[in-house]
Amino acid sequence: MLTFSFLTLFPELLAPFASEAIVGKARARGLVDVNLVQMREFSENRHLKVDDTPYGGGAGMVIRVDVAARALESLAADAGRPPPDEVILFSPAGERFTQAVAEELAGKSHLAFLCGRYEGFDARTEGLVTRELSIGDFVMMGGEAAAACVLEAVARLVPGVLGDEASHQADSFSSGLLDYPEYTRPPEWRGQEVPEVLRGGNHAAVAAWRREQALARTLARRPDLLPSAGLTTQDSAVLLTLGASADDLRAWKAPDPPAPRRPRRTARSGSGEAG
Ligand SMILES: C[S@@+](CC[C@H](N)C(=O)[O-])C[C@H]1O[C@@H](n2cnc3c(N)ncnc32)[C@H](O)[C@@H]1O
């Protein structure tokens, strides 16, 4: 069981992500637990204020560190759940959230997330967390959408949550490459046909075609992924046919492609060819 605790001023924004679709089913099956914590409950202000004006002046409000600390301490004191083994602050200044981070988080037992609003948290809050995460180089109004992204990405990696464990292993980024294209019925739609190889029932040919497509997409769209994609000698051969150069292969730390097969010499070969 992986517990997600979201400390937020707007738990109602996260409630549908926590109760619908696969996460909702995973909660019902006891595979994940989602704990929505209203940070206002930890205000000591009679109007339940959690923020205040910034020292030094300037626009906007800042969430108080003492409120964040009390909310986090309530998790540690919750007898019904293990104490958080990661406390994460959402911030545009954080480490970029990636599939690799999602895989790391899926192995924990209790993840606590601080969702900011306004100008964010008092800087001293950073001393209460184990890491800061950003979901991209843009600024949103609050951390709840970031929290929904992380919940969606991490919960599906918890064993048992997806019906078919293999289904996320070929996903974009999990294999080190972008995913190959998928097709379903109808076999022909507005003149566009599903590739013949996918309809032929030859599993080895399908696997080779999918790997080639994943390499082609990654080469065209995200060549920056190739150095850490764990390329094989066969991948190197495919990448050369897709237009990559020997210098590219070296830059991606790709192994040399298999040596081309020499035609077998016969008694007659070698004679007469030049003339
Ligand atoms: C308006 S933002 C604060 C932006 C902050 N003043 C800055 O420029 O870095 C309010 C909150 O939204 C969340 N947030 C906004 N953009 C984010 C992003 N790209 N990744 C993660 N969280 C984000 C954070 O929790 C942040 O505290």
Helix then strand then coil, in percent of the chain rounded to 5, is 40, 15, 45
| Single-letter residue type at 68 | A
Residue 12 tokens read as 């109602």
- Domains of the chain: residue spans and CATH: 2-155 (3.40.1280.10), 175-186+194-260 (1.10.1270.20)
- pTM of the predicted protein model: 0.90
The answer to whether the CB of 105 falls within 8 A of the CB of 147 is: no
For residue 136, which atom of ligand 1 is closest to its CA?
Answer: 19
Q: How far is the CA of 218 from the centre of ligand 1 (A)?
A: 30
CB count within 10 Å of CB 209 equals: 17
Please give the chain's pLDDT, 275 residues, in tens.
Answer: 999 999 999 999 999 999 999 999 999 999 999 999 999 999 999 999 999 999 999 999 999 999 999 999 999 999 999 999 999 999 999 999 999 999 999 999 999 999 999 999 999 999 999 999 999 999 999 999 999 999 999 999 999 999 876 677 778 888 899 999 999 999 999 999 999 999 999 999 999 999 999 999 999 999 999 999 999 999 999 999 999 999 999 999 999 998 877 777 765 554 444 33
Please tell me whether the peptide bond between 186 and the residue prior to it is cis, using omega within 30 degrees of 0. Answer: yes
Of 68, 2, 65, which Cα lies nearest the Cα of 31? 2
Residue 119 Cβ inside 6 Å of ligand 1? The answer reads: yes
The answer to whether the CB of 35 falls within 8 A of the CB of 3 is: yes
From 62, 139, 144, 149, give the residue whose CB has the most ligand 1 atoms within 8 Å, as the site to mutate.
139
Residue 142 Cβ inside 6 Å of ligand 1? The answer reads: yes
From 91, 132, 141, give the residue whose CB has the most ligand 1 atoms within 8 Å, as the site to mutate.
91
Query: What stretch of H or E contains 93?
Result: strand 86-96
Q: How far apart are CA 78 and CA 149, in angstroms?
A: 25
pLDDT at 174: 83
Fill in the DSSP letter of residue 98.
Answer: -
Q: How far is the CA of 173 from the centre of ligand 1 (A)?
A: 25
Residue 141 Cβ inside 6 Å of ligand 1? The answer reads: yes
Annotated binding-site residue? 137: yes
Residue 139 Cβ inside 6 Å of ligand 1? The answer reads: yes
Q: How far apart are CA 145 and CA 197, in angstroms?
A: 40
pLDDT at 273: 42
pLDDT at 63: 98
